[in-house]
Amino acid sequence: MENIQSNSLYPCGRPLLSYPEPMKLVILGVTGSIGRQTLDIVRSNPHKLQVVAVSCHGNVEVLQQELALLAEACPDAPLPLVAVTDPLARAGAAGQFSNRLLGEGPSALIEAVEAPESVHVVVNALVGAVGLAPTLAAARRGVRIALANKESLVVGGELVKAAVFAHGAEVLPVDSEHSAMAQCLSGRTEHEIHKLLLTASGGPFRQISSDALQKVSLEEVLNHPTWNMGPKITVDSATLMNKGLEIIEAHHLFAVPYERIEVLVHPGSFVHSFVEFVDGAVLAQLGTPDMKLPIQYAISGEKHWPLPGSRLDLLKIGQLHFEEPDLVRFPCLALAIQAGRDGGSATITLNGANEVAVAALLDRKIRYADIPRIIEEVLESESIHPVGCLQDALAFDTQARRAAGALVARLSQAEREV
Ligand code: NDP
Ligand code: MG
């Protein structure tokens, strides 16, 4: 159902889908940081929400613990279908989930979206480009997508938009900055937006010199000052690649050109983002750093349901502080902005190279400072092409990973020889 008034992926000014309670949820990536917080929300709202399918990759033990807690909180709800995408872990789990266990590999994520008889909301809390195909499957099902997996839009923003418009689905952002913008945009159209102001905590290395950045340890990289998140996004927050991915995410969600999306470093993470309107009015959404608020706001269809937790004390905070991001010390941000502006396959190459580099850092094969070098070299070596379909996107992703993998091998070899 296309609306000529509004062309943004996020349904600016368009009516949202409406569902009876309990709303039926598929949670992809249920064992992760966002996935487990989503289950917490379900357990607090057993009459409003019901889980019909979940996925994890290899962490079957956490999955079992989480599902046991869910069954305790929601004793009347039927047990959900289960996708375990890692083949070895799935083989080990076969006896535990019997006929509720879906197929093997990434296609089980599609099954988790398609198999339940009734689905209202797909929460995509997967990490990485693997999230794109299930986002497209959810769009084809014409349902609400509560999207944490920003890589879906970085790799396939145009594909997601086409599928959402063709099938009457909707994408509501879970990322806290984009949720903040959505809250500021409630009831307005994208034509009223002048500029998006995306806040960034600045990560653990905000005040560290370029020289010192060459030597930071993995433990320092993983020590985020304000948010407690999964390992990949924690590394992305330390390189500021996360903010770069979020610029691309905001561009696709709100149909705002890159030159009108700005980043503000805001160390306290109290202001989750701003929207400046065409008349000069600037709206912001503030709160303590707690992902449950944006997760719940997206799942509920933009309702402010009660949520226990700490509250913002503005008198205690006293002042709000903002700085310009440093693109020289944090080249990943500059690389992401350039890839976004270049368009086509450039953001797929950026993302694929980043995923490989981050995994190599987490495996202690390379150093923090190698990450932007790898991404830059891969971006230089890969030419930019249009992306017509999912298969194109996956082919460009594979190519970027191959190129980045070769660089990781070279760098880790050099490291061993030092
Ligand atoms: P986590 O690493 O904590 O969780 C990732 C989830 O995806 C886990 O359930 C994991 O399963 C599963 N998974 C990992 N690899 C694969 C794979 N190859 N195939 C299928 N499933 C896989 O990530 P987060 O929860 O931190 O982040 C999820 C998404 O949300 C990311 O895109 C991130 O950028 C975004 N986001 C996260 C925020 C946060 O606070 N954490 C804030 C804003 C956005 P298993 O546990 O079995 O390995
Ligand atoms: Mg964010």
| Structure confidence by residue, pLDDT tens digits, 164-187 | 999 999 999 999 999 999 999 998
Task: Provide the CATH number for the domain formed by 331-417 in this structure.
Answer: 1.10.1740.10
Ligand 1 pocket residue status of 127, Cβ below 6 Å: yes
Whole-prediction pTM value? 0.97
Instruction: Give the mean model confidence (pLDDT) for residues 119-135.
Output: 98
* Banded pLDDT at 244 (limits 50, 70, 90): very high
What CATH number has the domain spanning 23-179? Answer: 3.40.50.720
**Is the Cα torsion angle 364, 348, 30, 225 positive or negative in sign?**
positive
Beginning with the edge strand found earlier in the chain, give each strand of the sheet holding 261-265 in spatial order: 261-265, 193-200, 271-277, 282-286
| Cβ(359) – ligand 1 distance below 6 Å | no
pLDDT at 417: 75
Q: Is 380 exposed, middle or buried (0-12, 13-18, 19+ CB in 10 A)?
A: exposed
Q: Is 31 in the pocket of ligand 1 (CB under 6 A)?
A: yes
Q: Is the pLDDT of residue 225 over 90?
A: no
- Indicate the pLDDT class of residue 311, thresholds 50, 70 and 90: very high
Q: Are 224 and 238 in contact (CB under 8 A)?
A: yes
What is the 250 CA–ligand 1 centroid distance (Å)? 19
The preferred substitution site among 54, 64, 127 for testing ligand 1, maximizing ligand atoms within 8 Å of CB, is 127
**pLDDT for position 418:** 66
Nearest to 85 by CA among 111, 62, 118, 124: 111
DSSP 17: P
Lowest mean per-residue pLDDT among 100-104, 294-298, 346-350: 100-104
Report the pLDDT averaged over residues 210-226. Answer: 92
Q: What's the Cα-to-Cα distance from 382 to each of 93, 242, 339, 341, 377, rounded to whole Å?
A: 40, 22, 12, 16, 9
Does pLDDT of 2 surpass 50?
no
pLDDT reported for residue 5: 64
Can you tell me the mean pLDDT for 364-370? 97
Confidence of residue 3 (pLDDT cuts 50, 70, 90): very low
